[in-house]
Structure 1
Amino acid sequence: MQEVVLEDVGLLLVRAPAGLLLAAHGTQKLFGWFGGDGPEATGRGFESLGYSRGKAMAVLAGLTELAAGLGLALGLLTPLAAAGVIGIMINAAVAAHGANGLWAQNGGYEYPLVLGTLAAGFAVHGPGRVAVDHAYGYAETGLWWGLGAIALGVVTAAGSLAGRRAPAGSAPPEPAGPSEPAARAS
Structure 2
Amino acid sequence: MSAGLLLLRLLLAALLFGHAAQKLLGWFRGLGPDGTAAVFESWGFRPGRPMVLLAGTCELVGAVLLGAGAVTPLAAAVVMGTMIVAAAPSAANGLWAHLGGCEVPFLYGSLALVVAVTGPGNWSVDHAVGADDFSGVPWAVAAAVLAAVSAVPPLLLRRRNLRGAGEDVEAGRVGP
TM-score bin, normalised by smaller chain: 0.7 to 0.9
Where does residue 61 of structure 1 map in the other structure? 55
Identify the range of structure 1 (116-125 vs 161-170) with the bigger mean alpha-carbon deviation.
161-170
The aligned amino acid for 1:65 is E
Gaps of 5+ in 2: 168-176
Match of 2:16 among 17, 22, 29: 22
Where does residue 97 of structure 2 map in the other structure? 104
Structure 1 residues 138-166: Cα deviation after superposition (integer angstroms, max 9, x where no partner): 22112211111001110111121011121
Show structure 1 runs of 4+ deviating over 4 A.
167-171
Could you tell me how far 1:168 is from its partner in structure 2? 9.1
Would you say the 8 A contact 1:50–1:168 is kept in 2? no
The aligned amino acid for 2:127 is H
Would you say the 8 A contact 1:22–1:66 is kept in 2? yes
Equivalent positions of 1:79-118 (< 5 A) are: 79-95=73-89, 97-118=90-111
Could you tell me how far 1:93 is from its partner in structure 2? 0.9
CA distance in 1, matches of 2:14, 2:118: 19
> Is 2:136 the partner of 1:146?
no
Gaps of 5+ in 1: 1-6, 172-186
> Which structure has the larger Rg?
1
Report the RMSD for the aligned CA atoms in angstroms: 1.6
Q: Whose helix proportion is higher, 1 or 2?
A: 2
Query: Residues 19 and 43 (structure 1 numbering): CA distance in 2 closer, same or farther, change over 3 Å?
Result: same
Could you tell me how far 1:102 is from its partner in structure 2? 0.8
Identify the range of structure 1 (158-167 vs 21-30) with the bigger mean alpha-carbon deviation.
158-167
Could you tell me how far 1:38 is from its partner in structure 2? 0.8
Count of residues in Structure 1 that have an aligned counterpart in Structure 2: 164
Could you tell me how far 1:74 is from its partner in structure 2? 1.6
Query: Residues 168 and 69 (structure 1 numbering): CA distance in 2 closer, same or farther, change over 3 Å?
Result: farther
Partner SS, residue 162 of structure 2: coil
CA distance in 2, matches of 1:163, 1:28: 23
Match of 1:44 among 38, 62, 73: 38
